[in-house]
Structure 1
Amino acid sequence: MRQHHNLLKEILISGEVQFEPRTQEFILGISGRESRFDLRDGFPIITTKNVNPRLLVEELFWKLRGERSVKSLFDANVHIWDANAFQKYLENNDLAKKIPKHTQAWEDEFESWKERLTEGKEDGDLGPVYGHQWRHWTNKNGEEVDQLKKMVSDIRERPGSRYHILNAYNTGDRAEMALGPCPFWDQFTVYGDQLDLTAVQRSCDTILGVPFNISQEATLLGMVAKETELEARTLKHYTINTHLYLGVPPRSDFWINPENVKEFQGRVGEVTKRAEYKDVRDWYLSETSEESGLNFGKDHIPDALTQLAKRPRGLPTLNLKEGSLYDLIEQPANDVVRLEGYEPHRWKTSAVMAA
């Protein structure tokens, strides 16, 4: 998908190095970019690697149901949020300093925690994250506001309104969240029988997160359009802190030296053919320390270069099951959403999510 490749190239060529304190990892990042997708031209999903549609739709349905525990996702074999829920468990029990990130002790305790979650001995609570805010926002009088139902109703009854908004960022609840919302603002606009969506994302893991986020927002647009008898038209996706993870020392030590950064970015900037991204990848791996077993895949640069070496393929078509939005989100993703004609490049990614 051209828009995603443009983001990757811009980060690699002009990104700046920064230490990110929550994940305790280094990133290469840029600030403030817009990507635009016309859903009438096809469903926006990455084709230069395989993105599992079931996983991203299950997570979207989980948000739309208003859940705050990771348990239903875990039981559905969707493990996007496992590490965040575990980290919150450590913090809630004053164990975060005793069991620090990027250590074998953290990995061992994580495995034990997952066993307890399977047995129902842990609740997997993430705090008042995304869906809780969408469906259970609490106003100053202590009353719950269902943003989703209100928004859908308003689109039907007052299509010209400029208040068709889902807001997941509640400053008052932020400290209780395992992780603040990455995409946090969804605003729908109606013109005639066309429905557009503008999505704003504060933190953008461009290898693992952004591909999911783009396709989730497009699915949300399609489902709301179907529910309100409109045609899904344009998705605009604004990414603010737009980054690639560089991993942890000793791998990330390469990026502390400005001369290394300059040479890397110069090599990427000189690429004229897709195959040359593989050459840059091979050079980069020869110049950096090998990632240890514990930290393997935390550096996302190799995957970014591998993706850029692939030619984007045609976009698939989104097909949604008939039924009410509120009924559909209670069903398994594969029973509701079908992508016809999705034929991505298939290769084994090494990238792992930063927790």
Structure 2
Amino acid sequence: MNQVDLEYQRLGRMILENGIEKGDRTGTGTISMFGSQLRFDLKKEGFPLLTTKRVAFRLIVSELLWFLKGDTNLRYLLQHNNHIWDEWGFQKWVESEDYKGPDMTNFGLRSQKDPEFNELYQEQLKIYQDKVLTDDDFAKKYGDLGEVYGKQWRSWEGADGKVYDQIQYIIDEIKRNPDSRRLICSSWSISSLEQQQLPPCHYAFQFYVAEGKLSCMFSMRSVDYFLGLPYNISSYALLTYLLAHECGLDVGELIFTGADTHIYLNHLEQVKEQLSREPRQLPTLKLNPDKKSIFDFEIEDIVLEGYDPHPAIKAPVAV
């Protein structure tokens, strides 16, 4: 039985039954629960990509590779047809003095409620995407999201001004001292919050080596149960597979720990639909054996086999 979907569904029911209604930064509103955990046996269960709705694995791959490159500019994602982060870059542009188009204040909520405004929003968003792809100066100014994950993972700056590559440190330490309790990467740099278009939701992760297996625990301060968490689970599973591949280890457990775990009020019907579905068999992950370094992988080197999910369920992103 596919325990990944079952555990995910269990958490969803728990939020609906025990969560409290709260306001939030986006103005959408949530049903929220504080403190949650999920555990998955990567070796036993298969690759943890939910089957109770189709999850776009290619987007997970390109986003993770974007992080691992240390990149913070949307151009790479747009080149790979990945629009996960578009709204945050778009917000940076429409709130600037350089923006001369129609008023885009609160575009996230307005586009959901007003079809006429949504047409204007989609037009401006397309202009933004095209400019990031084709205009170097524009991309540098408005395509860059600041000191987000890629910067923190690969070029974290200490108080002494020294730059640290946290991912390389973890790889080196696993190979040198696999029993280390310091296999940690943190994206939460208090001095960088004002330079980040969106402060990190999954803010830290730690690896653990035992009996030839690599396990990972990742922590989140804010968890969008319906749209975000399925991606986060699969992304950290993929990261664990990649590090295990380079370090000559098998995969172990993936553990998620969440603080404010919430369902947006405009996702309730979608969540109920997903909770009604029967889990299917999990897929299998295949990595190109010719690639030895985690930093050498490209999208085509990562293949998913046997993925047969229920249909996708669309829902708006809260910005």
**Superposition TM-score, scaled by structure 1 size:** 0.80
Gaps of 5+ in 2: 111-116
Measure the CA separation in 2 of the matches of 1:115 and 1:340.
33
Cα offset, 1:141, TM superposition: 2.1
CA deviation vs aligned residue, 1:239-276 (integer Å, no higher than 9, x gap)? 11111111xxxxxxxxxxxxxxxxxxxxxxxxxxxxxx
1:339 aligns with 2:304: yes
CA deviation vs aligned residue, 1:1-42 (integer Å, no higher than 9, x gap)? 111101111111121111112x22111111110000000121
Cα offset, 1:114, TM superposition: 2.3
Measure the CA separation in 1 of the matches of 2:17 and 2:248.
43
Q: Comparing 12-21 with 302-311, which one deviates more in the overlay?
A: 12-21
Q: Comparing 231-240 with 98-107, which one deviates more in the overlay?
A: 98-107
1:122 aligns with 2:86: no
State the SS of the aligned residue for 2:84: coil
In structure 2, the partner of 1:313 is 280
In structure 2, the partner of 1:197 is 216
Q: Which runs of 4+ in 1 moved over 6 A?
A: none
Measure the CA separation in 1 of the matches of 2:307 and 2:125.
34
State the SS of the aligned residue for 2:138: coil
In structure 2, the partner of 1:354 is 318
State the SS of the aligned residue for 1:59: helix
Cα offset, 1:91, TM superposition: 4.0
State the SS of the aligned residue for 1:314: coil
The amino acid that maps onto 1:193 is G
CA deviation vs aligned residue, 1:148-190 (integer Å, no higher than 9, x gap)? 1111000100111111011111110011101011111110011
Identity between Structure 1 and Structure 2 (%): 33
In structure 2, the partner of 1:131 is 150
The amino acid that maps onto 1:220 is L
In structure 2, the partner of 1:283 is none
In structure 2, the partner of 1:154 is 173
Cα offset, 1:237, TM superposition: 0.4
User: Over aligned residue pairs, what C-alpha RMSD do you find?
Assistant: 1.9
CA deviation vs aligned residue, 1:252-310 (integer Å, no higher than 9, x gap)? xxxxxxxxxxxxxxxxxxxxxxxxxxxxxxxxxxxxxxxxxxxxxxx111110111111
In structure 2, the partner of 1:324 is 292
Cα offset, 1:94, TM superposition: 8.7
CA deviation vs aligned residue, 1:29-86 (integer Å, no higher than 9, x gap)? 1111000000012111110011111111110110111111111101110000000111
In structure 2, the partner of 1:293 is none
1:100 aligns with 2:67: no
Structure scoring higher RCO (CA < 8 A, sep ≥ 6) equals 2
Measure the CA separation in 2 of the matches of 1:174 and 1:40.
36
State the SS of the aligned residue for 1:48: coil
**Superposition TM-score, scaled by structure 2 size:** 0.88
The amino acid that maps onto 2:130 is E
In structure 2, the partner of 1:55 is 59
Cα offset, 1:324, TM superposition: 2.4
Instruction: Verify the 8 A CA contact 2:185 2:205 in the aligned structure 1.
Output: yes
Instruction: Verify the 8 A CA contact 2:246 2:294 in the aligned structure 1.
Output: no
Pair 1:175–1:161, CA change in 2 (3 A): same
In structure 1, the partner of 2:191 is 172
Cα offset, 1:350, TM superposition: 2.7
1:83 aligns with 2:87: yes
Cα offset, 1:93, TM superposition: 4.0
Gaps of 5+ in 1: 247-298
